[in-house]
């Protein structure tokens, strides 16, 4: 198989149970880099069967971690993936043709087919759910302070294009996995709100919780995905509510600590 001049960058943390199909889908790339956050489940041993470019580094936060990972490639072009993602044949062929044609753009968004279990979620804003995943090294930087979902703080000037081929994203194994991920992410989001001293009240939280559910289930037709669509719409609303509850709790604990220190 002719290798394409692109560096695959994958960030991992205890992903031994699902990273193999991700790696199998990118054997056409001439460089695979894995940045592992101190896994304890055999992820590193498995990954080393595919590449010798494995860096073990503890994650401080996602933005800082990703910025570091994207400095490692030897190639000009980088394809960023998560361990639960798979590159389709169509996307592989599209990227190979694109790089052979010497593109002038700085980067490209790629649509993602998000799954819960084996089910492809087509509605509720879950598809195409495109993100910038193929880009020139140094084309952008993430905010290095954000605990979760870091925004991009810098984009290089130039064209930004769109690809048609999909990434298969196995977002959640099942409902239980989705709930566990919701719990982890709202922990981090609440810490971000606390650090930013965000102004959030009960009524605005209720409004935003209902709005997130309404948009996912009705405006973006999540109801067309049946029970799964309903679950994900509720999950979306609960993200706002749980974040607020945990944020409120952090503020209460902080006030108690300050009161005790001043007593």
Q: State what percent of residues in the chain have pLDDT above 70.
A: 100
Residues 4-171, CATH architecture: Alpha-Beta Complex (3.90)
Predicted pLDDT at 146 = 82
Question: Closest by alpha carbon to 89, among 172, 161, 131, 27?
Answer: 27
The backbone torsions φ and ψ at residue 72, rounded to the nearest 5 degrees and listed phi first, read -85, -30
Q: Which residues of 7-40 are buried (b: 16+ CB within 10 A; e: fewer)?
A: bbbbbbbebbeebeebbebbebbebbbbbbbebe
Rounded CA separation 35/73 (Å) = 11
**Which residue, among 178, 166, 181, 156, has the nearest Cα to 122 in the 3D structure?**
166
Ranges of beta strands (E only) in 121-258 are 131-136, 140-142, 152-155, 160-162, 167-172
Kindly tell me if the per-residue pLDDT of 262 is higher than 90. no
| 143 token code pair | 């905010």
Residue pLDDT, tens place only, 79-105: 999 999 999 999 999 999 999 999 999
Domain ranges of the chain: 4-171, 174-262
pLDDT at 263 over 80: no
pLDDT band with cut points at 50, 70 and 90 for residue 148: confident
Task: Give the confidence band of 74 by pLDDT, cuts at 50, 70, 90.
Answer: very high
pLDDT, one tens digit per residue, over 166-207 is 999 999 999 999 999 999 999 999 999 999 999 999 999 999
* pLDDT at position 46 over 80: yes
- Under the phi-then-psi rule, with left for phi > 0, alpha for psi from -120 to 50, and beta for the rest, what region is 146? beta
Over 90: is that where the pLDDT of 209 sits?
yes
Inform me whether the pLDDT recorded for 112 exceeds 90: yes
- Which single residue is written with the structure tokens 């607020």? 244
pLDDT on residue 201? 93
Q: Given this model, what pLDDT does residue 108 score?
A: 98
| pLDDT at site 168 | 98
pLDDT of residue 234: 98
Mean pLDDT, all residues of the chain: 96
């Amino acid at each position: 198989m002719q290798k394409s001049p692109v560096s695959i960058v994958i960030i991992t943390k205890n992903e031994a149970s699902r990273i193999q199909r991700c790696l199998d889908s990118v054997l056409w790339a001439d460089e695979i880099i894995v940045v592992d956050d101190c896994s304890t489940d055999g992820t590193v041993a498995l990954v080393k069967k595919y590449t010798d470019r494995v860096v073990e580094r503890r994650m401080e936060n996602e933005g800082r971690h990703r910025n570091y990972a994207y400095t490692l490639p030897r190639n000009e072009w980088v394809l960023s993936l998560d361990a639960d993602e798979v590159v389709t044949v169509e996307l592989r062929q599209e990227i190979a043709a694109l790089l052979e044609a010497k593109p002038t753009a700085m980067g490209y968004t790629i649509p993602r087919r998000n799954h819960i279990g084996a089910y492809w979620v087509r509605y509720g804003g879950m598809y195409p759910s495109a993100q910038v995943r193929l880009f020139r090294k140094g084309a952008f930087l993430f905010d290095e302070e954000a605990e979760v979902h870091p925004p991009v703080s810098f984009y290089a000037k130039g064209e930004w294009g769109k690809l048609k081929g999909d990434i298969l994203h196995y977002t959640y194994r099942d409902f239980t996995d989705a709930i566990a991920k919701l719990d982890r992410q709202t922990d981090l989001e609440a810490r971000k709100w606390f650090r930013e001293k965000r102004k959030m009240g009960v009524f605005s939280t209720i409004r935003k919780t209902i709005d997130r559910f309404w948009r996912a289930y009705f405006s973006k037709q999540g109801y067309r995905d049946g029970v799964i669509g309903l679950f994900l719409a509720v999950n979306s609303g609960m993200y706002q509510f749980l974040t607020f509850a945990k944020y409120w709790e952090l503020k209460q604990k902080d006030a108690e600590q300050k009161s005790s220190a001043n007593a």
